[in-house]
């Protein structure tokens, strides 16, 4: 799983879809409109401060100081457990409460709120309930994602990613050289995949097939959701050795391990034969067009007559029309600065399919911004 731009990411980071009426004057015409516009700008600017506060709280284990049963704890007690200054800790806890990660049922006393519970260490443990978003938040509030954004202006001037300016090597080269960062990245992608995985398993007609090959499928989170929803289906999981490192545990936990074979390799060099559906989720987004065609060409060599290709991606409309969460557009910029990939329109994705020897055959809508685009061998 080389990259995912999950529905949950857009909801958590960017709120609901929205657009501006192009027919309205650009300059606010009344004090009320000025107030609304100023509030909008303040929310946008303070969003980066909110992300820093949440990321810091997560890294320091602040939320782990609270029970997941909702029992309140005094701020002074939390500060003592952290070895932190009490008044500063109170200020952080109140910020987290304002962001709805905590609640403050009485002055100076705090308890976990539902969003905060998703960042608690118990949710992330192997014995957890599978709801954790901690790795996802660590990744998107940490240097692996944000350092490239410090060079966004350079990427706008050149059209090229800036990750190498920050780290001296491209994004995927960095992950290969840094096992801890790679493990954190893969965990983040797994957590962000769960919501769209459930939607895809329910929406697409997987029962037509015998074996689905998940190309770039990481630890198997997506494949497991599909197999659990379709008991007659078998699967093959394919990713880099680092990508599939945790697959055995995930597939066993989801009780589908006996129906899956795991393969490690490089999808630029080839993909395993033997499936009748080849699935790529949030892989095309990572790469520039020619690289995408090279990946899809390897899939074309493996897809049999009568088989299908299924590409699951965030999909942009031709123009910003309010149908797509803002996170999809921010993800597009994230690809610009960090990987050189992009978020594409339906026509652009289908154009890549056609270049690789496929004929597009349909689209299955998923919760925005995702869709599943199907193609057959030409």
CA 10 to chain centre: 9
Rounded Cα–Cα distance for residues 213 and 226 (Å): 11
| H or E element that contains 199 | helix 179-203
pLDDT at residue 130, as a whole number: 81
Grouping H, G, I as helix, E, B as strand and the rest as coil, residue 65 is helix
How far apart CA 300 and CA 377 sit, in angstroms, is: 7
Residue 303 DSSP label = P
What is the three-class DSSP state of 178? coil
The model carries a pTM of 0.90
**What is the percent of the chain where pLDDT is above 90?**
89
Phi, psi for residue 205 in degrees, rounded to 5 = -85, 70
Average pLDDT of the chain to the nearest whole number: 93
Mind listing the pLDDT tens digit for each residue in 138-170? 999 999 999 999 999 999 999 999 999 999 999
Q: What is the pLDDT of residue 29?
A: 76
- Among positive and negative, which fits the CA dihedral 262, 263, 264, 269? negative
- Spell 54-89 as b/e; 16+ CB within 10 A means b: bbebbeeebbbbbebeeebbbbeebbeebebebeeb
34-47 tens-digit pLDDT:
999 999 999 999 99
């Amino acid at each position: 799983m080389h990259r995912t731009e999950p529905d949950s990411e857009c909801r958590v980071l960017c709120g609901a879809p929205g657009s501006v009426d192009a027919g309205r004057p650009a300059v606010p015409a009344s004090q009320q409109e000025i107030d609304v516009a100023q509030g909008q700008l303040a929310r946008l600017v303070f969003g980066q401060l909110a992300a820093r506060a949440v990321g810091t709280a997560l890294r320091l284990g602040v939320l782990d100081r609270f029970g997941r049963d909702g029992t309140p704890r005094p701020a002074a007690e939390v500060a003592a457990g952290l070895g932190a200054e009490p008044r500063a800790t109170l200020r952080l806890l109140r910020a987290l409460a304002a962001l709805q990660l905590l609640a403050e049922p009485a002055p100076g006393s705090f308890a976990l709120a539902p969003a905060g519970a998703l960042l608690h260490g118990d949710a992330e443990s192997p014995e957890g309930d599978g709801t954790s978003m901690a790795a996802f938040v660590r990744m998107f509030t940490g240097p692996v994602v944000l350092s490239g954004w410090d060079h966004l202006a350079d990427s706008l001037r050149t059209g090229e990613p800036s990750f190498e300016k920050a780290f001296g090597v491209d994004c995927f080269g960095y992950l290969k050289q840094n096992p801890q960062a790679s493990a954190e990245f893969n965990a983040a992608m797994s957590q962000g995949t769960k919501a769209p995985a459930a939607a895809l398993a329910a929406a697409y007609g997987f029962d037509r097939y015998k074996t689905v090959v998940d190309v770039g499928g990481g630890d198997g989170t997506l494949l497991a959701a599909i197999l659990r929803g379709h008991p007659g289906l078998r699967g093959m999981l394919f990713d880099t050795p680092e990508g599939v490192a945790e697959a055995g545990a995930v597939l066993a936990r989801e009780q589908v391990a006996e129906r899956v074979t795991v393969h490690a390799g490089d999808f630029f060099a080839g993909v395993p034969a033997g499936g009748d559906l080849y699935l790529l989720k949030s892989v095309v987004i990572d790469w520039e067009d020619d690289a995408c065609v090279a990946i899809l060409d390897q899939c074309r060599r493996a897809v049999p007559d009568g088989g299908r290709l299924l590409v699951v991606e965030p999909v942009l409309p031709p123009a910003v029309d309010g149908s797509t969460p803002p996170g999809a557009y921010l993800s597009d910029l994230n690809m610009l600065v960090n990987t050189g990939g992009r978020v594409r329109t339906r026509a652009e994705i289908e154009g890549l399919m056609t270049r690789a020897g496929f004929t597009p055959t349909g689209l299955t809508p998923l919760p925005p911004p995702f869709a599943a685009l199907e193609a057959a061998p030409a």
